[in-house]
Structure 1
Amino acid sequence: MLSEQTIATIKSTVPVLEVHGTTITKRFYQLMFEAHPELLNIFNHANQKQGRQQGALANAVYAAAQHIDRLEEILPVVRQIAHKHRSLGIKPEHYPIVGKYLLAAIKDVLGDAATDEIINAWAEAYGVIASVFIDVEAEMYKKAEQQQGGWSDFKNFVVQKKVKESNQITSFYLVPQDGQVLPAFEPGQYISLKMEIPGEHNTHIRQYSLSSAPGQPYYRISVKREDAVGSRPAGKVSVYLHEHVQEGDVLLVSAPAGDFTLDRTDRRPVVLISGGVGLTPMVSMLASLVETAPDRPVTFVHAAVSGDNHALRNEVEELVATHAQAAVRWCYSRPTEQDRLAQAFHKEGHLDLAWLQSVVPERNAQYYFCGPQGFMQSVYGLLKEWNIPVSDIHYEFFGPAAAWEADAQ
């Protein structure tokens, strides 16, 4: 338990963190990687270069300071981050390193304003927060390893099949090299790939949603090739997977993780909304609902640029055809002439509230959505405008938590 004095001191730093949070986290990563370059084998370099990881950590530190007297309120966020940590291989011995350089960064950035009282209070608070993460993650590691066919850390998988799904997205079917049974997973969860890319000094870890239903003899991921656009560099792992990984190759894979999963205790209708490659967890959810909840109404809404960019369309339509209460709607922002001739879409342009209301038969439903950041912001805004309760809104964001997500908690 934290003392009242420590809590008061931490809360007094909230306004400072609001202003200087990202500067502190940038300095933190700089100091930590200089002292421990081996940690570059865990962290996403692209997110570091784009400042996304620094921003996400700043948001997390700010939230911890705000809720330091009622940490139970951020436990859902703790569990979400803990899932990612478990899939990356974060261990208890990493936490003292993070604490040391986070405190050093606070001192560096704030200078004389970071009094001994403030530094000592944050050291005490960090110890409590780190202990919560360590305990939660220990239970997750134990569960992952002890389930049937389970394992800890990373395991060798063979690429059984490689299938091009669209002009940007390719699926990889992965089976355990040792021939052991695959552990179950919840639709919406992801796995991590740990890649050693020729010419790269460090390993790269990326997380990909499982795009098939549970119970298959393989794990399937459907990966979008991220080419360079403007100032955004090409995705090292996605490009390598598309260009160099072939059937028969061996990849290092983590056990499934993630808390973006279907609420199976709720029997109300389900609305699945996706944009681009964000359809991957939605296809897994749809396939599971078709198999296990044939009486539960499902509306599947997907937004793509055009039919050329639309992956897994036939699979989704086949799944919907087998479910008496399922419907699918496609929205293309820039349909091709072929799309128009084939009447391959239901709406041209972007999702808007009027159209969404017209295709969702029952407002009282559970809403799940996933896609690029701009798409996520738009869909969240539409659902809030429609006065959908926050408890009925569920989403997965590919990458570190974005600033807009603070409003969604």
Structure 2
Amino acid sequence: MTHPPHPQLGDFMLSTKSAAVVKATLPVIGAAIGDITPVFYQRMFAAHPELLRDLFNRGNQAQGDQQSALAGAIAAYATLLVAEDGRDPVEVLARIAHKHASLGITEDQYPIVHEHLFAAIVEVLGDAVTPEVASAWDEVYWHMAGALVTIEKRLYADAGVADGDVWRTLVLRRRRQESPDTVSFVLGSPDGSALPTARPGQYVSLQVTLPDGARQIRQYSLTRSAEPSEWEISVKAVPSGHGEDGTIVPAGEVSNFLHQNLFEGDEIRASAPFGELVLEDSHRPLVLISAGIGITPIIGILHYLAGTDSDREVLVLHADRSPARHAHRQQLKELVAAMPTASLQRWYEDLGVRPTRDVLRAGRVDLGTVEIPTDAEIYLCGPLPFMESVHTSLIDQQVPEADIHYEVFGPDKWLASA
């Protein structure tokens, strides 16, 4: 199939004919997209096994998370593209573009995706994909791809690197046990030179070569980047378990590899910092809400606030399984205590024999007991069910959607409904 030139950012109007076809077929394509994306990945990985081995997260593929996220992204983008009013479709792509940049994705990889995605559409929908339908959805794809390429090129330029050239070799300087299953790693350049500046809340990708030869990549939030020559991250070793459908979920390949194999003096490949969950300079009240390992970008934000003597009103809410499993527990308390305008409340599912009090509670986060400051900016990170519950509570309290910012560890399956 031929395709139009990549559009410039902000130029995302479909042709009148294609828009009408997309509107008419969106219910059918949208309903089938969950069946199309698994076929797409099967086709692409059969033709390019190196992509699954060296680029895509094998764990997310095995669980179907990446397929769900892609389906949601395509459906959300197409819906907004043909809507008569509402959000700019480009808004749903920023998070994806940052993830792509952290992986070093380049423009020449988009035709590969196009080839196998459209082959999957034809395989699933058969004769329903007429030339007219194919042409219209082809236009949707290249508008989406063009928007992503435009954003990614800007991100690479802002990082001061050539397109896709985001990787550097770092050395582990120190490691520290934060909880029974979480370790902090302090990384620096081999010669002690300065690392790229990171904004509070951003992440870096780490690239490891596993025993079977696969090169797998994962993203980890920066918990500290104030020192020009050091970055600090925290990694939770993901155990095996059961998915929502009862299937067995294997242990995290990369997280467990790092716990067992990365020690002082070892080298590792890391990307430049990316991520759109960044703290904006403002005088508005700030509410930071996290659960479990979702505390890592929050710790990064708090380090920045404390280090710049911020006078913003800051309310920190955190939930965890127990005080013993709470990574960065003491650090969180110390950072909040260092800011006269900050306060902290915590919830633990298993509080043990510790007394409950205003700032330390048993059970799960209950925003009904919390007074959210008027005109606050909200930053949210944690497991998806936790964020969905908190998001609903915030909306019920009349917090504007635009003031709620979130980070998802892994594929953004929330995208279609966010």
Q: Retained in 1: the 8 A contact 2:202–2:277?
A: yes
Report whether the alignment pairs 1:211 with 2:228. Answer: no
Q: 2:150 aligns with which of 131, 135, 154?
A: 135
Q: Retained in 1: the 8 A contact 2:306–2:338?
A: yes
Q: How does 1:90-101 map to 2 (within 5 A)?
A: 90-101=105-116
Q: Retained in 2: the 8 A contact 1:13–1:65?
A: no
Query: What amino acid is the match of 2:258?
Result: L
Could you tell me which residue of structure 1 aligns to residue 4 of structure 2?
Answer: none
Q: Deviations over 1:267-305 (max 9, x none)?
A: 111111110000000011111112225211111111111
Query: What amino acid is the match of 1:300?
Result: V
Q: Deviations over 1:28-70 (max 9, x none)?
A: 0010110111111111111111111101111111112212246
Q: How does 1:5-404 map to 2 (within 5 A)?
A: 5-40=17-52, 41-69=54-82, 73-145=88-160, 152-198=165-211, 200-230=212-242, 231-264=248-281, 266-337=282-353, 340=354, 346-357=360-371, 360=372, 362-403=373-414
**More displaced stretch, 276-285 vs 16-25:** 16-25
* Partner secondary structure for residue 398 of structure 1: coil
Q: Which whole-Å CA distance do the structure 1 matches of 2:29 and 2:394 have between them?
A: 30
Q: CA deviation at 1:215?
A: 4.1
Query: What amino acid is the match of 1:221?
Result: I
Q: Which whole-Å CA distance do the structure 1 matches of 2:209 and 2:279 have between them?
A: 33
Q: Which whole-Å CA distance do the structure 2 matches of 1:42 and 1:104 have between them?
A: 21
* Partner secondary structure for residue 184 of structure 1: coil
Q: CA deviation at 1:380?
A: 0.7
Give aligned pairs, total.
398
Q: CA deviation at 1:353?
A: 2.4
Q: CA deviation at 1:125?
A: 2.6
Report whether the alignment pairs 1:406 with 2:416. Answer: yes
The 3 A distance-change label for structure 1 pair 356 and 72 is: closer
Q: Which whole-Å CA distance do the structure 1 matches of 2:73 and 2:301 have between them?
A: 29
Q: CA deviation at 1:342?
A: 9.9
**More displaced stretch, 163-172 vs 282-291:** 282-291
Query: What amino acid is the match of 1:352?
Result: D
Could you tell me which residue of structure 1 aligns to residue 10 of structure 2?
Answer: none
Q: Which whole-Å CA distance do the structure 2 matches of 1:17 and 1:331 have between them?
A: 43
Compare the two structures and name the one with the higher helix fraction: 1
* Partner secondary structure for residue 323 of structure 1: coil
Q: Which whole-Å CA distance do the structure 2 matches of 1:342 and 1:247 have between them?
A: 40
Q: CA deviation at 1:128?
A: 2.5
What is the root-mean-square deviation of aligned Cα atoms in Å? 2.1
Q: Which whole-Å CA distance do the structure 1 matches of 2:348 and 2:225 have between them?
A: 26
TM-score, normalised to structure 2's length? 0.91
Q: CA deviation at 1:219?
A: 0.7
Q: Retained in 1: the 8 A contact 2:277–2:407?
A: yes
Q: Which whole-Å CA distance do the structure 2 matches of 1:23 and 1:354 have between them?
A: 39
Q: Retained in 1: the 8 A contact 2:104–2:164?
A: no
Q: Deviations over 1:150-175 (max 9, x none)?
A: 99321101010010000111100000
Q: Deviations over 1:316-338 (max 9, x none)?
A: 2222222111111111111223x
TM-score, normalised to structure 1's length? 0.92
* Partner secondary structure for residue 299 of structure 1: strand
**More displaced stretch, 211-220 vs 283-292:** 211-220
**More displaced stretch, 90-99 vs 76-85:** 76-85
Q: Which whole-Å CA distance do the structure 1 matches of 2:314 and 2:87 have between them?
A: 33
Q: Retained in 2: the 8 A contact 1:44–1:206?
A: yes
Q: CA deviation at 1:91?
A: 0.8
Q: Which runs of 5+ in 2 are unaligned?
A: 1-12, 243-247
* Partner secondary structure for residue 274 of structure 2: coil
Q: Which runs of 5+ in 1 are unaligned?
A: none
Q: Retained in 2: the 8 A contact 1:145–1:151?
A: no
Query: What amino acid is the match of 2:89?
Result: I
Q: Which whole-Å CA distance do the structure 2 matches of 1:341 and 1:354 have between them?
A: 21
**More displaced stretch, 288-297 vs 14-23:** 288-297
Query: What amino acid is the match of 2:230?
Result: Y
Query: What amino acid is the match of 2:362?
Result: E
Q: CA deviation at 1:381?
A: 1.2
